[in-house]
Amino acid sequence: MIGIGTYRPRTIVCNDDLVRGTTYTDDWVRRRTGVVRRGHAAADETITEMASRAGSRALAAAGISADAVDMVLVASMSDLRQTPAAAPEIAFRLGARRAAALDIDAACAGFSYGVGMADALVRAGTVRHVLLIGVDRMTDLVSREGSAALLFADGAGAVVIGPGDTMGIGPTVWGADGARRELIAHGASWRDYRDRPEQPWPTMQMAGREVFRWAIDTVPELGRRAVEAAGLEMAQVRAFVPHQANLRIIERAAERLGLSADTPVADDIINAGNTSAASIPLALEQLRQAGRAHRGDWALLVGFGAGLAYAAQVVQVP
């Protein structure tokens, strides 16, 4: 990784704003999720707009021009258009006119999947520079009345991945558990909505307790496998950056991983909510800006989400 950039929505919404008129309280949201505030995208902060802003900042940080990008990968689950994909438009906006461009839908694991794909493509010599963007507008997918609205949010984060003299990204350990696919799923299909337009807008449904139990078992094991695959010891990991699903999942997973007591653990969810595919790059950049992670440090990234899809790798902080 040679550059990172992020975009956070202009509008910040606190718990009190969302629980007003409901049976939920600010204290309940904090205890269950860890979220205090989150960003909600305005009408003009579209998937392509947020992604383009983050991508432009990543290119500037990497010190390369858009025409040096060979591929644009966009990890997202919330672009409501079936076609065309968002990536070609984003590539065009940025000026990456010759780049291959495609979307990845691995939900909240999408960014980690993208890191694995970009790393493999660069190593194979198929491309030289990949712009990988994680972006989601989760507020379009969740019911405004349910508890999911208290957790999910919007944002974008991007990295540039390119060749280096030494290993900067370890092997990706990934997989999927399709037997649990219904734990996080769209409640109805677009066909259902077309045929019965009187029904409520299709929203994403999540079995929170089951996902919690699955995650606190899966994430630590996945993280250990990724560290081992890179030929590192856990003591060499200087930052833990899991998908910002829920602060309680993050805390339990960190405990079970066996990290050094002084290893920083990303907690961007407190101020950003769960931004799905954007959460890992947003959290990584937040650690950098806070001085808790430094250029060249080994960071363990673990993405997991609907599918249930999961992926992990260790990377050097850009």
SS3 labels along 213-275: HHHHHHHHHHHHHHHHHCCCCHHHEEEEEECCCCHHHHHHHHHHHCCCCCCCECCCHHHHCEC
Domain boundary among 103, 130, 161: 161
Q: Do 259 and 240 contact (CB within 8 A), yes or no?
A: yes
Whether pLDDT at 260 is above 90: no
In a domain, 167, yes or no: no
Residues 256 and 209 in one domain: yes
Active site residues: 108, 243, 274
Do residues 189 and 146 share a domain?
no
Domain's final residue, options 118, 141, 161: 161
Q: Are residues 92 and 202 in the same domain?
A: no
pLDDT of residue 190: 80
pLDDT exceeds 90 at position 200: no
Question: Domain limits at 51?
Answer: 3-161
In 3D, which of 123, 133, 142, 76 has the Cα closest to residue 99?
Answer: 133
Of the candidates 140, 161, 182, which is a domain's last residue? 161
- On whether residue 37 sits in a domain, the answer given is yes
Do 49 and 182 share a domain, yes or no?
no
Bridge pairing between strands 71-75 and 130-137: parallel
Alpha carbons 45 and 255: distance in angstroms, whole number: 37
| Average confidence (pLDDT) over 223-234 | 98
Model pLDDT, residue 141: 93
Give 98-146 pLDDT, tens digit per residue: 999 999 999 999 999 999 999 999 999 999 999 999 999 999 999 888 8
The angle subtended at Cα 294 by Cα 290 and Cα 297, nearest 5°, is 135
Helix or strand (DSSP H, E) at 195: helix 190-195
pLDDT of residue 202: 82
Q: How many domains does the chain have?
A: 2
Sort 210 into a burial class: Cβ within 10 Å, 0-12 / 13-18 / 19+.
middle
Residues 9 and 157 in one domain: yes
